Structure formats: structure tokens, C-alpha cells
Structure 1
Amino acid sequence: MREFRVAIPEPDLDDLRYRLARTRWPEAATVAGWSQGVPLDYARELTDYWANQYDWRRCESELNALPQFRTGLDGGGDDRVEIHLIHARSRHKGAMPLLLTHGWPGSVIEFVDIVDALIDPPDPRDAFHVIAPSLPGYGFSGKPTIAGWGVERIATAWAQLMDRLGYERYGAAGGDWGSIITSALGTGAPENLFGIHLTMPIAQRPETGDVGPLTADEKGRLAEREAFAKVGTGYSAEQSTRPQTLGYGLADSPSGQAMWIVEKFWDWTDCAGHPENVISRDRLLDNVMLHWLPNTGASSARLYWESFKSRRVDTVEVPTGITQFPHELVRLPRSWIEQRYTDVRHWSEPKTGGHFASLEQPEVYVDELREFFRPLR
């Protein structure tokens, strides 16, 4: 476990500005709005801000104000990957270790603004030690050089990480891939977990007759899911089949990398039509920088290729907390979820919020974690 500080060489930032200034733009979409992707006017405005006003050193300082480390993990395989993590310990006695896992196209930036609230809450009995690793191939973690780093292997690596940190039992939470990896941890290392908290639980449709009829609201949510599958999953199809081909463009064009990510913050947040309504422009770009600077366009996309080949939906028996935000990508019927997660102790549906809960609604998200884990301490 080696201490780590972010220190991006100035020539890398000069190269970024050089590339941004020479972006070759496509023509505008043939319709107004976002239905064909990021509108040209906004793309140019955001890129100009990135090149001429955005301050990476501010973000770098925020990251370096938190304790960061790197350590090699093999996840039970033959090769090791250097994993970057934030490990912020609470000053309060009896704090619960909490493993937070991000997803795509996120990064540990998702958790920077909630660390203090978790480690030093108003009630010391709600305190957590925060452990937030960057997924293999994401951010400042290393990139796998051979195949095999799918969901289950990452979950095994996370169990190794927590053991190396000296935590025998802990809580775990996440969204997006973080929900899926946390669920895999719940089946692979249940004896180590106080419980798991998820914002995007995945479950299969039960066999006919296993559950009661769906409510009108649940039918509406499934209809939304079907509509999203038709118009919103092109990124997933590409990343799960040809991540290497996609990576060439993302590695070469910072504006291309940014729009590939920012479009999802428009589509997946509860933003009333514009991502900056709920997440600041700087935070959006901070997250993009954790993809651009370490050149992770291909390596982050490869998690889809690794994990979509075999989609396991095993039963999870550890205590589980579910928070379903109204603009989450997948909102399945509770009866489906409770067939997979057999010990749901907490169920909540906040009035606002979307896929990036800790960025959109940080106070609500922190309160949800406190409320779920409080009786499990």
C-alpha cells in the first residue's frame, strides 16, 4: 500500500489545450435539442471553457487533500493491476468501513464531495471510514493487459483490498457498475459484509406466478426501460463489442472523449434538460479529466466487453438497502428485486435525483447511507 499523489505534468495540460484549440467540428444536428447527441453550440461552448478557463490544478488539489494510495491486486488471477484508491479514515471511534464503487462513465470524482460528510457526521455514531477505489482501467488505476477483469474478478479484488487494509467486516455501496460489483461482493464474500446499499439493483423477470401483478407505476417504469433500450443503449452495444475500435477516437480527441461522457450526464441525470442544472461545469470536466489524462477511453469501455459475455444474476442474501432515484436508468419492480435480494432492510424512493446520486443529490445520498447502515453497526 503506497501513498499516491496526483501530479499531472504541465506538458500534458499544454497538449490538451493544443488539441482542444484544433478540434475539427461536425455540422450541427438536423433537429434542435439533444435527440441526436450533444448539440454543437453547447459542445463548442464547453470545449472553449475547458481550454481557456477550466483549472485542473484546482481539482488536483482537491484530490490530493484526501489520502490516496496505490496497491497491486490480482483478483484471484495470474496478473496484477495497480489500483488507485481514496482511503479516508474517520476520527470517530467505532466508524464503519464503507467501500464505495463508481461506474461508467464516472470515477472517484463522484465521491470527493461526500467524503467529509461520511467521515465526520453530526452524529459520531454515523461515522464511516471511506474506501473508494478506481475501477481497473479507470482513473489513476492501472489497465489490465490480459482479458479476464470482469465484475466477479473485480469483486474478488475488492475483498483482497479490504483485507489488506485490515478491515474484517465492512459495508459496501455503489451505483451503475458499482451496484453490480457490490452485488457480486455480496455473493462472493458475504461473511465480510455488514450489508450492501445499491442505487441500481439488477434482477431478472420472475417466472409467471411467482409474484403478484404489477402496479400501474411499475408498468410505467418497465415501459421507460424499454424506451431507453431502443434509443439510449448505443454506447453499451459499442463498448461491449468493439471497445478497442472506439478507443482510438477517444484517445486522440479530448472533445470527442468529453462529449461521449457528457451526453450521459444529460440523459441519466434528473436535470430538466441540461446537465449543468444539477452538476457544475467544473465537476463535469473534472470527471472527464479522469478519463482523458490517463487515456482510459478504451480500457474503461472494456469492462462492458468483459462483463456482458456472461451476465450473472445470483441470489444475494446479505442485508440490502435500495434507494431508487426517479431518473435512474433501470427501475425494476420491487417484487423482482426482492426475489434476488432476499434480505431487503431499507427501501426508499426520493422525489428527485438520477443515476449519479452522489453528485446530483449528495445530502440525500449520504442520508440514505446513514439510515440503512445505522441499525447494522
Structure 2
Amino acid sequence: MSELFAPVDVATRTASDGGLVIASGQRLAPHPSSVLDSFFQGCDAHPDRVLAAERRDGSWATCTWGHAGVRVKRLAQGLLDHHVAGHPVMILSHNSIAHLLVTLAAYAIGSPVVPVSVAYSLLSKEHRELRAIAQIVEPAAVFAENATYAAAVEALGAVNLTVSADSTGTDLTPLARLEAEPTHAIAERIGQIDANSIAKIMFTSGSTGRPKGVVNHHGMLAANQQQMRQVWPFLADEPPILADWLPWSHTFGGNHNVNMVLVNGGSLWIDDGKPTPQMIERTVRNVADVRPSIHFNVPGATPRWCRFSSVTPTSPAASCRGCGWRSSPLPVCRSNCGTVSRRWLPCTGPRCG
């Protein structure tokens, strides 16, 4: 079993102004220029492995790496046929298999994806933030998960192409109808993507005014994953299994976690719960089902996990190599999830060796 952490290799020096400069002694190793490259390599290497899964009518619906690779290229061809290539694709959706496939298909034709916070679509009646984002990015296509997002789509006005995973009760184009047999043009488009190509535009929360777009390049996302592979060596040898709810409109869920799975050949089980009093039990059930090898969450989840401390299989530590929280140091949690006192900690469950 690989080491959890890389050996400590830190260099320090005193700057001319008296400040202390701290740097890693490790150099970034060679790596693919895009997470899309890693994705297609994974499709060839382990086509039957689960890439993503989601709850449908109480059961898990899965999508394998091989199936995802086929659908991504077919969706990419459909987008190309509708003249979307190189132009932004706005995504109005919660975390879902379709959301992931559309994201990868857009990458394949050089189109930046714009994953918009679900709150801007479903909690806002006037959709001011949503319309402001659309005015900035001018999307050539919009993906709306289902009819729940119909009002948000209507608020955007006329768009070149609007598609949906479930078009029941709407006049949106079904994803299945968008798919087309891939031509050599798709391979050419994929070959043109490099580290400087724009992968996505993520928008801030708008807490200091209107949401602001943040450009994410393919090279930046790929380098970030390589950094993690070097700091956490076990990732390269143990394909990560995640049960995760963190929204893909945010960099923690959408970049850190999703790309960790894509780059390391893992499996992402989409948690339809949340660390809220009303939905934490759903998350506990999903984690117990999946038994993830890594668990990520927010600080607010910690005390709520403790409510289930007597149910050993449901604690994140029951199967984890590690648990991570997006936070500064946390209070001690004396439950089956281990002592939580750092941002990342080794877990002590039976699969930890």
C-alpha cells in the first residue's frame, strides 16, 4: 500500500525584507496537459469500471468509463454540428451523470463550460444573477438537467441550442437526440486542446456584488491534480472512490473532487444528500452504501456526523484512506469519524491498513 503523504521536503530562505520564504523541494512531475487526456486514457484502460453513479428512484444508476467515453464523443459531435465549438456552454444542473458528460463533451470541442450555482436557477424568482452571467459569457448552448430548470431557461431568452437530460414537459432538445456518430473532426478538436485552452469559467458567489467570472485553464486543472498525486502518493496506485455532494459550480467539488476521479481512474458516487439537518441522513446512507476511500466535506458536517457515531459503517472513517474538510482547524470530534483536528487526516477504519 502506498504512503499516505509524500516525504517532507521543504526549503526556506530569508528574503531581503526579512520575510521567510517557504517552498517545496519537489518539482512538479510531467503530466498530461488536460484532465480530458486522462479521462480518455482511463476509458481505454478500465472501460468496465464505474465512473459515476447517481440515485434514481432509490437505486444507484451507474455509468462506466467505457460508456462515458462513447457518449462524450457522440455528444461532442452533436455540439459541433450545432456550431457550439469554441463557445461557452452554460450548465444549469445539480450534480449528475448528464452534467458530467456534457462537461467533458464541451471540453472535447474546446468550449468552456460555465457551471452555474443551482441557487441562481431554482431559488431566485427574477434570475438577475443568472441573466447577468449569461450576458457576460454569451453561451452558445445551455444544458438544463430537467423541467425543474424551465423557468431559468426561459429567463435566459433565445439561445442557439438548449438541451436537457430529461425533456419531459419541456420543449428542450433531449441529449439523446443531440448525439451523433463521431467524425474525425472530434479527434482533431481534442488534439488541439493544450494547457492554455480554457476549460471552464466559474462564478463567485456574488457576496460582494454581482458574481464574477474566474477563468480556469486546462493546464491549471491538470497541474493541480499532479500536485495532489505527488503530495498524496496513494492516489496514483489506489483509484479513489468518492461519495460526494459538493456542488460542481464550486471549485472544491467541481475541480478538486471531480478531476481527482478523472485523473486517477476513480469512481464518483453522487451523494443526493447534504450536511443539513434535513438531509444528513441521506448522506449517511449513501456513504454507508458506497464506503468511499476518501471523504470530503464542509466543517458544518462534522457535528452532524457525530449524531451517528454509534453506527460504525456510516462514519467516513469506516473505509477511508483520508478525510478532508475545506476549513481552517476544526474542533475535536470524538466519534467514529476519528479525531478531526486538521484539514486532512489519516482515517482509522478497517480499510486503512
| Fold shared, TM-score > 0.5 on shorter chain | no
Q: TM-score, normalised by structure 2?
A: 0.29
Q: TM-score, normalised by structure 1?
A: 0.27
Higher helix share: 1
Higher strand share: 2
* Larger relative contact order (CA 8 Å, sep ≥ 6): 1
